Amino acid sequence: MVADKLESASEQVQVEGQAERSGVQLTARQEQILSLMQAGKVNKEIARELDISLGTVKQHVVAIFKKLNVSNRTMAASLGKELLHKKDVNRIHARRPCIVLSLRFSGGTRKANRQFYDFLSGAAFDHNAHFVHRDDGEGELVFGLKRSSEYDLRAALFIAGDLHKQLKQLDSSIVLYGALVAGIASVSQNRFGGWSGDAVASRVIARAHQLLFQADEDYLLLDDSCQWIMKAYDIALDGRVPEQINFNQAWQLNVWDAGCDKPLSGRQQELAELLHFLSPRSDNGLMLLDGESGMGKSRICRQLARESEKNGYQLTFLNVTPTGIWDGISCCMVDSVEVLYEQLRSDAKAKSLLILDDVHLFSKEEKEAFFISLQHLGANRKVLLSGRQLLKSDYIDTAEVNFVHLSRMDISQVAELLQPYDLGALLVEDIANRSRGVPLFAIEMARGEGNSISIALVITIASRLDRFNMDWKLLYCLADQADTVSLNKLGKIMQDSTDAVYKSVKRAASIGVLETDGKSVRYRNSLVKEVVGYLFSGQLKLD
């Protein structure tokens, strides 16, 4: 015992001496490994966590010892704690949901090879993805590292179909193989959201590359996680989610009427108001459908579209995406927005309805141009705009238009929504409370029988938080606590000043993620807390 204490004291003196030295530079990967060493992980656990080989971990550990001038893990962890604390406080280690599109082609000329890589590089830039370059006609696009989005899977499908079309036009003998996988990546993350660009390790990338070699010629394989997300986001073909799909059909998965909708539940009153908008009794040409994400706006749009076709309307169904406007009937991107504006201003011989979903994704300039075109709407034309926070628009006088706001469902509406899942009354009540009446949350919890968190839920909630540039360090630390935490304790956990903690808490509360009385703070939604806790890497725990 005495010898152990003396050895420990000697090590502490060495560590304190080393901590005074400056100029130690660790790579991002070495910082990750040192962080996991501090958490008590052995080499095998580190290799599994970062999806790298045991030999690679050992090499990094030796390099860390050398740079820190220490001889064992205890000394490295102690010195590393101070070293990492001095690093940029706006960078943390975390886990993020991601979609991986892995592609490989064979045949063709050198020009085709160059076009393959140029296309993927350009697609990564356009769709905010990370391009993993491989040799010999292979490569991956990883979506969600920089910022999570519900549109990532749709973007991957569009890119796969577009690349296949371009390669075939260049050389019909080219064969393309693909795999689409969803999962979780370990990353170095910016404190206020998104990948920092320093490090990424993920089994999901390796899984996508392995699955790629099981794909048939000119087919895209979809793993189970992707199929789950597609069901959650109503992405299907002829009413079903395929296990694989020909590249020529990939775009059709983004058709507006995929044929997979269950009967509409819990929104009869809102639907009645929208149907009145279509009736001859209404002479108003513009309707707003407003609500937060996950409230079922797109489902209502599809229902209204079906009703309009029954009533003799010529239908145009468009979705605003982060990279343009998608035509859900022709399954292509809209080439000319100006032509669309001209059509809206002109008179139509037959009744016509334009449904434009996710209008909130327009840029400020696009919104202004679009709403100017609506001021002179042609005869026989009606327009339904769907999106978030439309009622607060600077471009529309909401007193002059019809609008429907989708609020959160009460327990009876959730129970009606979940009838097809044949759950017990107690479980339905628990799901209604935990989901706080958000239909998408409730349905996903029902699919998991109330006791699992789906990848679709993780993506949806991460997307919400990323959109508001939340302080992820605050969210991680709070998710690690049992319930309500005092602001003083939270400041110690976060190792931040009281003012900085208060500002982050105030912002999160104003958005509705947290609630505070000025002295303590807690999550408003237990499900959001569960998801953030699931993503929590353990890096920020208080010793």
CA dist., res. 461 & res. 425, Å (int):
26
Of 352, 358, 276, the residue nearest 309 (C-alpha):
352
154 and 285 assigned to the same domain = no
Of the residues 87, 103, 136, the one at which a domain ends? 87
CA dist., res. 540 & res. 196, Å (int):
17
Task: Say how far residue 308 (Cα) sits from the centre of its chain.
Answer: 32
SS3 sequence of 387-437: ECCHHHCCCCCHHHCEEEECCCCCHHHHHHHCHHHCCCHHHHHHHHHHHCC
Structure tokens at 492: 């110690």
> Could you tell me if residue 447 is inside a domain?
yes
- Which stretches of the chain drop beneath a pLDDT of 50? 1-22, 538-543
CA dist., res. 146 & res. 135, Å (int):
24
> Could you tell me if residue 261 is inside a domain?
no
Record the pTM: 0.80
Could you give the strand order of the β-sheet that contains 514-516, starting from the edge strand earlier in sequence?
485-486, 520-523, 514-516
- What pLDDT was estimated at residue 397? 64
Structure tokens at 441: 């949350």
> Could you tell me if residue 68 is inside a domain?
yes
- What pLDDT was estimated at residue 543? 27
> Could you tell me if residue 104 is inside a domain?
yes
172 DSSP assignment: T
Pairing between strand 130-134 and 138-143?
antiparallel
> Could you tell me if residue 195 is inside a domain?
yes
CA angle 312, 318, 320 (to 5 degrees): 160
Residue matched to tokens 């859900």: 328
- What pLDDT was estimated at residue 183? 93
Of 189, 443, 505, the residue nearest 513 (C-alpha):
505
Give me the number of domains the chain comprises.
4
104 and 245 assigned to the same domain = yes
Specify the 3-state DSSP secondary structure of 467: helix
Structure tokens at 410: 């009460």
Question: How do residues 404-423 score in pLDDT, each as one tens digit?
Answer: 999 999 999 999 999 999 99
List residues bridging with 141 in a β-sheet. Answer: 101, 131
10 and 34 assigned to the same domain = yes
Of the residues 87, 103, 129, the one at which a domain ends? 87
Residue 316's region, left for phi above 0, alpha for psi from -120 to 50, else beta, is beta
| H or E element that contains 4 | helix 2-19
Task: Residue 248: give the domain boundaries.
Answer: 93-254
